[in-house]
Amino acid sequence: MKKITIALLTFTLLTSNLLKADEGMWLPMLLKDNYEQMQKAGLKLTPEQLYDINNASLKDAIVWFNGGCTSEIISDKGLLLTNHHCGYEAIANHSTASDNILDNGFWAKSYAEEKVNQNLFASVLVRMEDVSDKVNKSLAGAGANGEEYKKQEIFKGIIAEATKGTHYEGMVRSFFKDNAYYLFVFEKFTDVRLVGAPPQAIGKFGGDVDNWMWPRHTGDFSMFRIYADKDNKPAKYSPDNVPYKPKQFLSISTKGVEEGDYTMVYGFPGRTNRYETSYGIELATSKINPAIVALRDIRLTAWKEEMDKSDSTRLLMSSQYAKISNYWKYFIGQTEQLKRLKVYEEKKETEKEFTAWAKGKLEYESILSNYEKAYADYNNYALHATYMKEGISGCGILSAALNYSALEKALSTDTKNADNVKKATDRIKLTNDKFYKSFNKISEQKILAKIIQMYYENIPVNQQPAYMAEVLKKHKGKTNTETFEKFAKSVFEKSFISNSQTAAKFLEKPDLKKLQKDPAYAFVMACYDNYNKNIESHIDAFNVANNVEGSKYIRGLMAMKPDNKFYPDANGTLRLTYGSAKSYTPKDAAHFNYFTTLNGIIEKDNPNEFSFRVPQKLKDLYKAKDYGNYADKNGDIRVAFISNNDITGGNSGSPVLNANGELVGLAFDGNWEAMSGDIYFDSKYKRTISNDIRYVLFLIDKYGGATNLINEMKIVN
């Protein structure tokens, strides 16, 4: 397959002023190509101050937090700042009924008080490198079906060569749908300790109601610290480890942000799909997104019913609830905004233009017709794939049961190997230790019944496993609801996986026949065997076609519009976006200011609504106007502000920097009117919602009394 050269990529980044500065997630390595435009927007730093592999630069203060969020180093002692929702699981894991730091907040007043975490990591980028030529040369001659496997082998070789003789880790990522490849080398730290967090009444203020909305009044931050060995290198937890000494940390400005001020967001955005076709948008809005919302709603409703019954249950289940609810609402908003902004129609116009341009051009003229054929088959099976991921795997007991498949294989081999059995059981035990802590049988039985009923009613019968007929025959009720409630009850009564004690007893002496007869295991394996044999090939064929045609389509768009600026989709790699603080008008007769204040929190206070209960201490500080040095020119505490920076999931916790590279805000969300942003950037509505750093400092200092942390930071005005 022909690949676009990096020279062309650089050219397209340089040559256009058609797109505004606020659109695009830019690779720091190529920021010199945007520098003139950034200067005009207000930037006062040099390109080398933003990104330099030979000297300390801002990129050394930006940290990939646990593979799904961003954090930043804000002291010379490895102090990290990220979002409350990024640290939520760690905070919840340390919370008990007797020491409820999730509800009460937590502030370490010394290193000794900081809390050790399991399975938490923070990675600092060492360097990035264009490896397109290496990958393309090695891929020469590989067919489309074998290319992905070969790519992974090539990536492993490149990473091994780049990290040889070091303690570094690496990854290679594709850009522009396999038109370019970059290597990223990291220093990964695994001793990351909890330092501070406000109570969730502040950190999650507004809950699901305010999520993805503006105006916003959440204090969405938490603090951690990176620890290293005596040589300042990554090390497993040890009481002998010491705070990490970074190459660079961020200064914090208390000057604030005014409308029109230059802003940068530096972080690790997760995924965007800005080059999606009309076929993909139609499928998402008509089938996939509504299915995800409906399936997640089943889990959220059942969990919430039990969480509302007791604080101990709520604490145990709150982390998993938060994970699911965030993107439950996201998919509702994305569907609504894609339709409102008529993105499907705009994509059709672009494709119409492309078809006319591509006529007679051998490489490009069949792309859209090939897309149409691929989607014609995929549309029949895409919903099934969604139900497997969000439905079958979304049922707690079925998800747990699936973990036993490796054990079945180990027990089934003709030459049964005790070591393999032990390895399989040890892995399950490790998973179960965490799983059963938040496993609520009452809610999970309801979830199983309702999700399997949805699967039965919405997936074509000829795509369902034969085992479903046995379920219907054995548990037949007067209605589908009664049938699947009887089925779920039977599973929870008879499956050893339904509680931790019987699961532990089985793992002490695992038995192949007992495993295969277990109703939870038998059902989930029937679903996955059916999927693997009858459905997966269609999904795989589509993915190959989508990658092949998508790569050519992007290359064709660049050739069709050589004066346009093209930027790569987000893919979990370090990016910088730039724009400015900016208000907006969401609809007729409504205008949203660019910042919110503590006044708005007091206005929303509702003691009868869990998500809007304002802590008494915060109300006391408000009443006394005890704001310290953190008030704005009007004497108010600004809670949050919006800017037109381009962000997506993964940017949670990203620093918002001013023209001097100083920390002025903490990005935590996008706005409802631009929920289409992962697929379509709308410059009129797209906004990044960030905490004003002065609100963060106010809470650390005045609310938390953690002056030790304030003194550790470099605060400038």
The region that residue 508 occupies, defined by phi over 0 for left and psi between -120 and 50 for alpha, beta otherwise, is alpha
CA distance 681 to 19: 11
Which H/E stretch holds residue 577? strand 575-580
Does 475 qualify as catalytic in the annotation?
no
Query: What sections of 164-310 are H helices per DSSP?
Result: 200-203, 207-210, 278-283, 289-307
Looking at 57, 60, 85, 132, which residue is catalytic? 85
Looking at 33, 130, 178, 220, which residue is catalytic? 220
Q: Supply 457's token pair.
A: 């009613």
Does 678 qualify as catalytic in the annotation?
no
CA distance 219 to 86: 13
CA 392, 449, 320: angle at the middle one, nearest 5? 60
How many CB atoms neighbour CB 139 within 10 A?
Answer: 17
Per the document, the length of the chain is 717
CA distance 649 to 182: 21
The HSE-up count of residue 368 (CA atoms within 13 Å, CB side) is: 21
Amino acid of residue 403? N
Does 652 qualify as catalytic in the annotation?
yes
CA distance 85 to 222: 8
Strands 62-65 and 69-73: antiparallel
CA distance 603 to 96: 31
One-letter-per-residue 3-state SS of 8-26: HHHHHHHCCCCCCCCCCCE
CA distance 156 to 693: 40
CA distance 525 to 519: 10
Q: Is 287 exposed, middle or buried (0-12, 13-18, 19+ CB in 10 A)?
A: middle
Q: Taking Cα atoms as reference points, which of 371, 357, 367, 346 lies closest to residue 681?
A: 346
Q: List all residues 6 or more positions away from 65 whose beta carbon is below 8 Å from its beta carbon.
A: 71, 80, 82, 86, 122, 224, 653
- CA-to-CA separations, 627 to 13, 204, 286, in angstroms, rounded: 45, 21, 49
Query: What sections of 172-308 are H helices per DSSP?
Result: 200-203, 207-210, 278-283, 289-307
Which H/E stretch holds residue 431? helix 418-435
CA distance 317 to 303: 7
Instruction: List residues bridging with 122 in a β-sheet.
Output: 65, 189
Cis peptide leading into residue 199 (ω within 30°): no
CA distance 602 to 593: 18
Looking at 652, 654, 676, 690, which residue is catalytic? 652
Instruction: List residues bridging with 170 in a β-sheet.
Output: 185
3-state DSSP assignment of residue 385: helix
Contact 306, 443 (CB under 8 A): yes
Q: What sign does the CA torsion over 590, 593, 595, 599 have? A: negative
Strands 222-228 and 79-82: antiparallel
Q: Supply 633's token pair.
A: 């020119």
Instruction: List residues bridging with 619 in a β-sheet.
Output: none
CA distance 690 to 687: 10
CA distance 653 to 59: 15
Q: What sign does the CA torsion over 328, 330, 335, 337 have? A: positive
As annotated, the active-site residues are: 85, 220, 652
